[in-house]
């Protein structure tokens, strides 16, 4: 089954929230990787699963390459990009399902699903998983726009998109990044929950 692109397009407000959430949680992914709680292959499975739900052409290419470099088989990668989860290591299945749910709900997973991840993996590892999910959500939200703009330049505009949207989203990152960085820092200092249900 071929990968379908542009399944989801995110608005400017959604783009800001996705960026803010990524900035709040990517550090947990980095820490989890350093502590060897989350392997690079586990991170790539999460990222491929989210990318499949969102349909990001740029991220599909980039993370397929990274997954191959991590030693994942082409068959496993293709299955993940087709939404097929059999063959995923048993201890990673819940995280991959949660990643798909997170992307499918546009970053609004149920509190019960998040609690399942915390109960299964413990808070520290669960935050690392969330960091990986939110990092690729950021990549997808802006990668989809970049792909659409690139295709427009090639004379193949994406039906769901338009030039104003593409330019607005690409420019917004310059404006949003410093604001979201301060927002994330202040939220951390004030102890604002990282995710609902925490």
- Claim: this prediction has a pTM higher than 0.95: no
Angle 29-32-38 (CA atoms, 0-180°, nearest 5)? 95
Report the alpha-carbon distance of residue 63 to residue 4 in Å, rounded: 15
Q: What is the DSSP string of 36-99?
A: TSS-HHHHHHHHHHHHHHHT-HHHHHHHHHHHHHTT--HHHHHHHHTT--TTS-GGGHHHHHHH
% the chain with pLDDT above 90:
81
Q: Which residue shows structure tokens 């542009």?
A: 6
Instruction: Quick: pLDDT tens for 82-116.
Output: 888 888 999 999 999 999 999 999 999 999 999 99
Structure-token pair, residue 1: 């089954």
Domains and CATH numbers, the chain: 12-190 (1.20.1290.10)
């Amino acid at each position: 089954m071929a990968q379908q692109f542009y399944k989801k397009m995110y608005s400017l407000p959604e783009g800001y929230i996705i960026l803010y959430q990524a900035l709040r949680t990517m550090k947990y992914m980095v820490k989890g990787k350093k502590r060897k709680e989350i392997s690079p292959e586990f991170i790539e499975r999460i990222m491929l699963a989210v990318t499949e739900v969102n349909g990001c052409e740029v991220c599909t290419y980039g993370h397929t390459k990274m997954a191959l470099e991590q030693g994942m088989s082409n068959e496993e990668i293709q299955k993940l990009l087709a939404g097929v989860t059999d063959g995923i290591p048993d201890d990673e299945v819940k995280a991959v399902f949660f990643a798909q749910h997170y992307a499918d709900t546009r970053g609004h997973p149920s509190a019960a699903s998040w609690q399942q991840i915390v109960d299964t993996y413990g808070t520290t590892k669960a935050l690392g998983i969330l960091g990986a999910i939110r990092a690729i959500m950021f990549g997808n939200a802006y990668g989809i726009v970049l792909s659409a703009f690139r295709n427009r330049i090639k004379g193949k505009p994406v039906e769901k998109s338009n030039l104003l949207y593409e330019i607005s989203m690409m420019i917004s990152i310059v404006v949003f990044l410093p604001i979201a960085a301060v927002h994330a820092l202040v939220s951390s200092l004030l102890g604002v929950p990282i995710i609902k249900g925490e």
